[in-house]
A and B are shown apart, each in its own frame.
Chain A
């Protein structure tokens, strides 16, 4: 039986009252706490603030008069609406029906396959390509949100020469001349980019480099994996990044590698990880996951056993494990090591017994740590099973050494021409300021970024490249797996593809259009490897439809292992340390200008918009700091001072402060216009200000290696306290004790089981068949339902962004989030429990439960919300009068009220709005509809096809479609063969708050942790 007395907490205040009964429990309704802080101060506060505005009677009358006039105008008839037909009907376009184009996500360098959903020749949503072997239909929050980039109003309209608009011919002429002149002078020509995975672009780069002897292409990664590649150069003789196979691993030990959230290829890894932990009834393989980290990540939250170390102790922890597995004792230098003995023993014995099916991953940017990881993986025999070197990953190719050399060359003034292909290098790397200084000395600088960033603004020539949704290109994330990137929209600006620009600069302009240019390359390079005796055109068409071609292993490499030479790790310094970490949605900050990603509550902290210093609650108590206290953070080796608010984060290493990167980027001043337009609006950022502080210049350089941590950290309070935009305690599920059934007890809201007890037949606590006063409602046909597997869910929040894009959910801005006015239909509740073995975390996606006896419906005075004959809890926006009774009566707190008419997402001109979903107006209640537009479309599609029969799985909700862990299943509960019906009857299934008698249609499957000491 599950431990039903287990106490979970959501906030530090709740934890404090659980630990010490003398501390009063936080208010029943968490929002009450906001009142004290003056955020929900209601009318009194507004009047006070209005007083400060000194609005006189005339101004007030003017404003009210305007709104009356507007209302009166709205009632009058409008001018005749035009219906403009096509001149010639395109073959493949039906009005109102979406087309899907297979492409490759350009959101990061992971290279996931996507399907771009086009309506009227305009992409409005991105989905993972279900046929693509990497991401198998899933996409992360960043990928989902990167759609906005194509409509970004900050994109350059066309090429520029020294800040003035120019034609491509003028620009090419000038750049070509400049390059030749510099080359003739013997100056160096350098290309700089983040990792590029397009083989056709690499061919163009090679052609460019050939035209300028001595020129070089420098590749860097803001989230560097250079140490992994360098370590493999040392141990395996090849500078490669292994393809990690989490699906094949029985035991995983991860050291500061957030592989489900931010590390290398999180969507692929989350799917594979989930595959290795998929329970079917009481059966199914279940891997064992150890995690060592400094802050809390979503990966660490899923771990079966977790330990925290300071960043400076990480390498020593790895050495400790290596020594325990037989490495020379000198590797630890005799130091005791930070890992507790019991945890170390458990980890070592599990890894050993798993042997080749073990996998050790390390996210450190230090080569020494990676060498130790390689040694352990080799020792366990994992190369060849869980680490694939034959078809290595190409998702990170950056070279820290090459970047350091470029910085040195720039400093010495040896570089005559620098072409920045993509990225914002001066804001992304430790050497940013030095790079900026060096770049100023370069006579010819060319930027290919399509928007304004700090690096591009320094370039004298701007040659904007097409957005990936406009480009004909390709992507090879794994050696031999080549995705084809076809455009989903005609270029919206006068941009040119990067490869074509480079060829033009080299004086060898391609005569062909982007499509033909790509086709020529594929005919030459890819087709001979993957064509298999077909005609090229047939091969091309098939690839275009599938979205990728698999050419098989490119080069077979043996695994001759060379023992690394590892010096003893230096003993870690005492005291506090600071870790700069990538957040799930922002990561290195490449999409910092994207409002969807900024508003997305961080999966760990639930902070939206705000950058904060994460501190362990006990540490903060010791330092006399409270949530929201503004502090000055100082650290060793730099004079820089970070002034940021404190956020109390359980699971944080007590001696480590974490600060997220990706903030303080050019273009974030646009968020000044986010949020409702009204008298008392508080902008997210001041006019012309940036959001947050960029911490990349604070990375510590050790040689060429950028270390994302510093020792000697100290916090000093400034005496100021601010309200953080944090949704952690918003909409907390709470049932008053008097609602507990007489003689009964409440079924827990989240449930966990240990694998051991589960294997022995334990099941989740259920609450079925409670008596009801209502007549049993009959659903004669289908009953739509959902199952959410908490074991699979890692909280990555891709579903939230997918829901936001699909359902036209507005961005509300920081001030509205502070007031608990966020509009997201789907949230992920996060529960903590201080277990005997450390922090345990459960993430629970919470959305409308589509109750059979819905409490919201009985209180609606106008019948705006009713239950459909298929069990959907419908919300008729046009009927709603905005009493908000329904939201008050919803035990799940999933209803959202439109306090305002929300302005368009800045920079998007609302071009991403889904035409199948009504845009809600002010004064209207809304909530999750189970993607009813997808149900209707699925139905219409089956009617059009003439069969009129929907199969299980034909309809996928947006959240389900994008889930990398396949945690969400949607379908007909009345079909006994449907997957969702089977899951609802699973031994792990329970329904949240079903003991209230509301008959929710969503089943949750309890989280299982592998507490067994041997691999299962």
Chain B
């Protein structure tokens, strides 16, 4: 069927462009695109087990969250504080802990293995802010903002998923909200200045 109506041609072109843009949108880097990002990690570390069931304080591992801008990843030695003794209660857990031993340069029994070179665990980074954004964990933690405010119900996650969009609107909403209504019943001032994050 030949298309000979100019109106129909224009309509089709617009339709094709719209479909194309809809199709391409997920591939374009836009703020908030990482929402729901949940990569498989080199070791299946479970926050549900450690933070949820065992109730280990978040800052036992992410110990710089209160003291610096970055929450920090625990050093391999920090894992071994417990896992030198805790070797897993089922084959799946044992397999994960064996991986930890491998990275720490230990043999299957947790003893130094001269053939292995200790190396950092190559965790996949999930929460990534663009280079022109600065976020200081300590400023938020010391004011009483909980980890879950941004990271969601992390204590229920076996495999960590990016819960919030971490786009600018997400930050602004929270800043507006606490500025108007306070935080935990206290009056706080959360600035909306650009230079709070962008410099």
Q: Chain A residues in contact with chain B, CB under 8 A?
A: 75-77, 80-89, 94-97, 866, 868-870, 872, 874, 876-879, 916-919, 929, 932-933, 936, 939-940, 943-944, 946
Contacts and interface: CB of A to CB of B under 8 A. Distances in A.
B57 interface: no
Given A940-B139, A944-B68, 9 more contacts: A82-B122, A82-B123, A86-B120, A97-B67, A866-B194, A916-B199, A918-B198, A939-B139, A944-B66
Given A97-B67, A874-B193, A83 B134 contact: no
A81 B136 contact: no
B77 A87 contact: yes
B73 interface: yes
B125 interface: yes
B93 interface: no
Contact of A943 (B77, B118, B138, B199): B138
B103 to A, nearest CB: 9
Contacts of B33: 77
Given A89-B75, A96-B69, A84 B120 contact: yes
A939 B69 CA distance: 12
A940 B136 contact: yes
Contacts of B20: none
Contacts of B73: 83-85
Interface string B176-199: 000000000000000101111011
A827 to B, nearest CB: 21
A83 B139 contact: no
A944 B143 CA distance: 10
Contact of B69 (A97, A874, A946): A97
A929 B195 CA distance: 9
B92 to A, nearest CB: 23
A97 B124 contact: no
A647 B46 CA distance: 70
Contact of B136 (A76, A89, A929, A936): A936
A940 B69 contact: yes
B198 A874 contact: yes
A916 B134 CA distance: 8
A919 B75 CA distance: 29
Contacts of A866: 193-194
Interface in B54-72: 63-64, 66-70, 72
A876 B78 contact: no
26 contacts: A76-B27, A80-B125, A84-B120, A84-B123, A94-B64, A94-B72, A95-B68, A97-B67, A866-B193, A866-B194, A868-B193, A868-B194, A874-B194, A877-B198, A879-B198, A918-B131, A929-B199, A932-B195, A936-B195, A940-B69, A940-B136, A940-B138, A940-B139, A943-B138, A944-B138, A944-B142
Contacts of B32: none
B121 to A, nearest CB: 6
Contacts of B104: 87
Contact of B134 (A81, A84, A929, A936): A936
B193 A872 contact: yes
Interface string B115-140: 00011111111001011111010110
Q: Which 8 A-B pairs have the closest CB atoms?
A: A85-B73, A96-B69, A868-B193, A874-B195, A89-B75, A86-B75, A84-B120, A83-B125
Contacts of B63: 89
B132 A878 contact: yes
Contacts of B121: 84-85
A944 B75 contact: no
A785 to B, nearest CB: 16
B68 A97 contact: yes
A258 B128 CA distance: 52
A88 B77 CA distance: 5
Contact of B123 (A75, A83, A917, A918): A83
B88 interface: no
A77 B27 contact: yes
B160 to A, nearest CB: 12
B125 A81 contact: yes
B47 to A, nearest CB: 15
Nearest to A933: B199
Contacts of A870: 193
Contacts of A943: 138-139, 142-143
A950 to B, nearest CB: 13
A879 to B, nearest CB: 7
Given A80-B124, A943-B138, A869 B75 contact: no
Contacts of B119: 87
B86 interface: no
B36 interface: no
B5 interface: no
Contacts of B3: none
B8 interface: no
Interface of B: 27-29, 33, 39, 63-64, 66-70, 72-78, 104, 118-125, 128, 130-134, 136, 138-139, 142-143, 191, 193-196, 198-199
Contacts of B128: 81
A915 to B, nearest CB: 10
Given A76-B29, A83-B124, A87-B76, A876 B66 contact: no
A664 B27 CA distance: 53
B75 A75 contact: no
A944 B133 CA distance: 20
A496 B75 CA distance: 32
A86 B64 CA distance: 13
A82 B76 contact: no
Contacts of B132: 877-878, 918
Contacts of A89: 63, 74-75, 77-78
A95 B199 contact: no
A80 B78 CA distance: 24
Contacts of B64: 94-97
A517 B143 CA distance: 48
A984 to B, nearest CB: 22
Contact of A95 (B72, B76, B120, B134): B72
B97 to A, nearest CB: 17
A946 B191 CA distance: 19
Nearest to B143: A943
Contacts of B142: 943-944, 946
A940 B65 CA distance: 12
A870 B136 CA distance: 19
Given A86-B75, A87-B75, A936-B199, A869 B191 contact: yes
Contacts of A84: 73, 120-123
A972 to B, nearest CB: 16
B36 to A, nearest CB: 14
Contacts of A876: 194-195, 198
Contact of B76 (A86, A869, A939): A86
B38 to A, nearest CB: 12
B110 to A, nearest CB: 15
Residue from B139, B196, B198 having most chain A Cβ neighbours under 10 A: B198
Contact of A85 (B28, B69, B123, B193): B123
A876 B39 CA distance: 32
Most B Cβ at <10 Å: residue of A76, A868, A917: A868
A943 B70 CA distance: 15
Contacts of A87: 75-77, 104, 118-120
Contacts of B66: 944
A94 B68 contact: yes
B29 A944 contact: no
Contacts of A877: 132, 198
Q: Which of B76, B78, B130, B199 has the most CB of A within 10 A?
A: B199
Contacts of A874: 193-195, 198-199
A76 B119 CA distance: 31
B104 to A, nearest CB: 8
Contacts of A80: 39, 124-125
B76 A88 contact: yes
A83 B42 CA distance: 11
Given A85-B120, A929-B199, A96 B29 contact: no
A75 B198 contact: no
